[in-house]
Chain A
Amino acid sequence: MFDFSIVSKWFHDLLTDFIPEWLVIGIECVIVLLFIIVLYAILAIALIYLERKICAFFQCRIGPNRVGKWGLLQVFADVFKMLSKEIIKMRQSDRMLHDMAPFFILTASFLTFSCIPWNKGLEILDFNVGIFFFIAVSGIGVIGILLAGWASHSKYPMIGAMRSGAQLISYELSIGMTMLTMLLLCGTMQLSEIVQQQADYGWNIVRGHVPAVLAFIIYLIAGNAECNRGPFDLPEAESELTAGYHTEYSGMGFGFFYLAEYLNLFICAAMAATIFLGGWAPLYFPGLDGFNTIMSYIPGFVWFFGKAFFVVFLLMWIRWTYPRLRIDQLLSLEWKYLMPISMFNIILMAIVVCFGLTL
């Protein structure tokens, strides 16, 4: 497997020959920032296109196919439309908080985005409490949603934000529990280390068999809820609250919410791919040496994106299959079913790890 840290180390050494180290680190930070922003934009475009196409296919439609070949330029057209729109200033809304809210959501989204290990040696934020950091910064998004609802001074956003707060706080528990379950298996919180283990010993979902599969299913359900999507889109609930917490936003303010929503979907899928499906680790079958060598020629980031988009498809499949839940159903699903099951799952995983029953 190609180790990307060779490239970054070579680049670092090359620059330190000419300029002082603090400047080199500054330059590298700017490059990394540009990399994140560009990747963020590209992924958002890809995801919005995918969502529209997959949604259409699930509903016996064709989806966008008029702008560009197969409608590929549709998202660009949408973005330019959104950029050209006026940003409306509402009377009686709290202007500062109102304008700040999208940036909270974007910040949370960017921070979690930079935790993702793209390839071997290609991680932006990689330290020994990686998963803990991931869970912590994903919580910032709730502030943005609550602020958006509060500062809009309108009923729909307020109701949407309140629902969203209740929902995100509840489902974060399940996400934390499932991650804890997998941490029991890995014994480390460092994301690069987790993936490296899976490359060496097999994917976690295979290694942890029953509890890992259970955790994966719970993660998919809770992840859909965390992204405010699918059967859990109460905070937005088009038919009830027009657009939920971002009803009063126009132009790029709305665009940021929209962007963050799709990127959160990707981050959720990428985390599932990293923790359960082995991140950039290729598919190995013990014994089939010829097959394994061919697989290891496929670069790691291709594996990573393949797995992440597979999980994205799963999440979209869930979203476009089920009808929206009521708020009491939503909360009883979390507190009466997912929580106890994931607690039980932790114990199961502990037993499995303790007695060496992992594959």
Chain B
Amino acid sequence: MNNNTYFGGILDAVKSLTIGLKTSIKVFFEHHETEQYPENRATLTFTDRNRFCLEMPHNENNEHKCIACGLCQMACPNDSITVTSEMVTTEDGKKKKQLVKYEYNIGQCMFCNLCVTACPQGAIQFNQEFEQAVFDKSKLIKVLNHPGSKCQERPKPVIASKPTATPQGQPAGTQTTGEPKTETGETPQQEKVAATEPIETKKED
């Protein structure tokens, strides 16, 4: 298409302009890409990578996985997480931290995901709820732990010599994070994990 003569140029122009017209009229009758938002609410889907609001998944017994360690609060660059905890003594005489209130201010959050990566328990995650507009600023502060919830019982430390057949400490509802986990299984590294903390370790991204 590099015809430099006068008439050749005209012919080339007519040819390429016709191609343009053909393309645009084809598009004219094609499917429209526009998403009509309030109407398509039922079918609207986002990719998993979207981070819209922090949430703390609870299982059917109203148990979450937060151990109130406060790592997320420390990791947060914007101070949007406030963890309130108390010390309780368990029946076998051990002192233990317990979550009272997990406050999350979505108005300050910049959705960096650092809290989720910092959490050793996989207790928090970002969800797909994007309709977060409210009329009152105070409604932006959300309490993530449900009323009356408690930390879920973790599996007892296992003896290294006899690995557990099934990971008992994995009740339903804990898989929702979608984070890669190493199960307490037959891996040789499992001994060390079981000796220190009987929880799943998170892989670094």
Chain B nearest CB: distance from A229 CB in Å?
A: 15
A317-B21, A321-B20, A322-B17 are known contacts. Are A62 and B27 too (CB-CB below 8 A)?
no
On chain B, the residues within 8 Å of A65 by CB distance are 36
Contact A57 B34 (CB under 8 A): no
On chain A, the residues within 8 Å of B34 by CB distance are 60-62
List of 4 A-B pairs having minimum Cβ-Cβ separation, nearest first: A321-B24, A62-B34, A60-B33, A321-B20
Q: Which residue from A62, A317, A321, A337 sits with its C-beta under 8 Å from B36?
A: A62
On chain A, the residues within 8 Å of B32 by CB distance are 56-57, 60-62
Residue of B nearest to A320 (CB): B24
Interface 1/0 per residue, B75-93 and A, CB below 8 Å: 0000000000000000000
Question: Is A11 in the interface zone, CB < 8 Å from B?
Answer: no
Contact B20 A60 (CB under 8 A): no
On chain B, the residues within 8 Å of A317 by CB distance are 21, 24-25, 28
Question: Is B136 in the interface zone, CB < 8 Å from A?
Answer: no
User: How many A residues, CB 8 Å from partner?
Assistant: 15
On chain B, the residues within 8 Å of A59 by CB distance are 27
Chain A nearest CB: distance from B15 CB in Å?
A: 14
Chain A nearest CB: distance from B33 CB in Å?
A: 5
On chain B, the residues within 8 Å of A322 by CB distance are 17, 20
Contact A60 B17 (CB under 8 A): no
A57-79 contacts to B, CB under 8 A, are 57-62, 65
Chain B nearest CB: distance from A321 CB in Å?
A: 4
On chain B, the residues within 8 Å of A56 by CB distance are 32
B29-48 contacts to A, CB under 8 A, are 30-34, 36
On chain B, the residues within 8 Å of A318 by CB distance are 21
Contact B20 A57 (CB under 8 A): no
Question: Is B141 in the interface zone, CB < 8 Å from A?
Answer: no
Chain B nearest CB: distance from A232 CB in Å?
A: 14
- Which B positions have Cβ atoms within 8 angstroms of A? 10, 17, 20-21, 23-25, 27-28, 30-34, 36
Contact A337 B28 (CB under 8 A): no
Chain A nearest CB: distance from B51 CB in Å?
A: 28
A57 to B33, CA, bound (A): 10
Chain A nearest CB: distance from B193 CB in Å?
A: 53
On chain A, the residues within 8 Å of B31 by CB distance are 60
Chain A nearest CB: distance from B28 CB in Å?
A: 5
Contact A61 B21 (CB under 8 A): no
A57 to B24, CA, bound (A): 9
Q: Can you pick out 12 interface pairs between chain A and chain B where the beta carbons lie within 8 Å of each other?
A: A56-B32, A57-B28, A59-B27, A61-B33, A62-B34, A62-B36, A65-B36, A317-B24, A318-B21, A321-B24, A322-B17, A322-B20
A332 to B137, CA, bound (A): 61
On chain A, the residues within 8 Å of B23 by CB distance are 321
A322-B17, A337-B10 are known contacts. Are A58 and B36 too (CB-CB below 8 A)?
no
Residue of A nearest to B33 (CB): A60
Residue of B nearest to A57 (CB): B28
Contact A60 B25 (CB under 8 A): no
A180-223 contacts to B, CB under 8 A, are none
Residue of A nearest to B17 (CB): A322
A337 to B11, CA, bound (A): 12
On chain B, the residues within 8 Å of A57 by CB distance are 27-28, 32
Chain A nearest CB: distance from B72 CB in Å?
A: 41
Residue of B nearest to A59 (CB): B27
Contact B28 A58 (CB under 8 A): yes
Chain A nearest CB: distance from B3 CB in Å?
A: 14
